[in-house]
Structure 1
Amino acid sequence: MAEEPTLHLVCGKIAAGKSTLCRRLAASPEAVLISEDRWMASLFEPELRTVEDYTRYSARLRAAMGEHVEDLLRAGLSVVLDFPANTIANRKWMRGLFENTGAAHQLHYLKISDATCRARLQKRNADGGHEFQVTDEAFDRITGYFAPPTPEEGFNVIVYSED
């Protein structure tokens, strides 16, 4: 018997390891990976120049993907949503996806220090294998919006830390 369809969400700063974890989670049977970075690069790369550009196009992508994610969950598939669950507003949208379908959920929180994330980001930028290059300035700016999940939000949280 197949496992209950589950929406897997990831929360963590840039270069915390969200996409790496998502690929591992999606390796399980009957799971589909949906990567924001892959879709954003394919659809909007020439237009993505600022944090404001990212915010605008990410909202468009969420609007387009929401019903698709719900359809996959209703079809019995688990979805690994490699979109950052880094703000209360993003998590509210994600909550709607599993609540609308009755699917289970897990919020994977990568609790990784800024220093570790910066080191990983610099290596990732140097390797050139990621869809986007992120400067230290952009890291600081985007990290300023980061809000870790709280118990009051009511998510099933799994914490991964450096300890």
Structure 2
Amino acid sequence: MSTTSSTLHMLFGKIASGKSTLATRLSAAPGTVLMAEDVWLDALFADELKSLQDYARCSKKLRHVMGPHVAAVLNAGVSVVLDFPANTVAQRAWMRDILTRTETAHELHVLDASDEVCLARLRARNAAGDHPFAVSEAQFHEFSSYLTAPTRDEGFNLVFHHETGITSA
């Protein structure tokens, strides 16, 4: 049982699976802030992001700074929707480290959407031009190849969302 009233919300899912849409909905709760990796990466490293390797390097720098900040916000009693991918064991280990610095509750939201649904959303998102990063289908498949679904053994409170329950923004 948490000794604070805050909750850390984390998100697992493919590109365009609805993570940011769900994050926006979750962040509408009172006393909750949204911290979105794409916003920070765009503001700090937009000119440097050309490949998966660039993303990995810049994301690592960002996580190094954001981890203690997220823990401090949670310890102040404010809930955080962390719109950073929890798509690999290493990414979730970083999030687990944040949790070890707090007494907060947590939920790892697992978004289950097919490649077809995600690619349709990705095409629409790219065409709209309102997302900081346009992702090609090849990049979608490259990033997706690294996804490792969370297991109960990792100790997260898992909340499942299936594609029929997710709508695009």
Residue of structure 2 in register with 1:60 after alignment: 61
Is 1:143 matched with 2:144? yes
One-letter amino acid of the counterpart of residue 46, structure 1:
D
SS in 2 for 1:101: coil
Is 1:32 matched up with 2:30?
Answer: no
Could you say what secondary structure the match of 1:146 adopts? coil
Letter in 1 for 2:145: G
- Aligned AA (2:44): L
Q: What is the count of residue pairs matched by the alignment?
A: 161
More displaced 10-residue stretch of structure 1: 94-103 or 61-70: 94-103
Of residues 55-64 and 144-153 in structure 1, the stretch that sits farther from structure 2 once superposed is 144-153
Deviation of residue 161 (structure 1)?
0.5
What RMSD in Å do the two structures reach over aligned CA positions? 0.9
Cα offset for 1:133?
A: 0.3
Shift of 1:96: 1.1
Match of 1:46 in 2: 47
Instruction: State the Cα distance separating 1:148 from its structure 2 match.
Output: 1.0
Structure-2 residue corresponding to 1:161: 162
Q: Which residue matches 1:83?
A: 84
TM-score normalised to the size of structure 1? 0.96
Cα distance in 1 for partners of 2:105, 2:121 equals 31
Deviation at 1:27, TM superposition (A): 0.5
Q: Deviations over 1:10-49 (max 9, x none)?
A: 0000000000100110000000100000000000001111
- Cα distance, 1:147 vs. partner? 0.8
Gaps of at least 5 residues in structure 1 are none
Q: Which residue of 1 aligns with 2:167?
A: none
Instruction: Encode CA deviations 1:48-95: one digit per residue, 9 max, x unaligned.
Output: 111100000000000010111011011000010000000010001101
Q: Report the secondary structure of 2:156's partner residue.
A: coil
| Structure 2 unaligned blocks of 5 or more | 165-169
Q: What are the equivalent positions in structure 2 for 1:111-122 lying under 5 Å apart?
A: 111-122=112-123
| Helix, strand or coil at the partner of 1:108 | strand
Whole-Å Cα distance in 1 between the matches of residues 106 and 151 of structure 2?
A: 16
Q: Could you give the per-residue CA deviations for residues 105-163 of structure 1, whole angstroms, max 9, x where no partner exists?
A: 00011011111101100110011110100001101100000111111111101000125
* Identity %, equivalent residues: 50
Bigger Cα displacement from structure 2, 25-34 vs 3-12: 3-12
Q: TM-score when scaled to structure 2?
A: 0.93
1:125 is matched with which residue? 126
Secondary structure of residue in 1 paired with 2:131: coil
Q: Separation in 2 of the partners of 1:67 and 1:153?
A: 21
Distance 1:162 1:130 in 2: 21
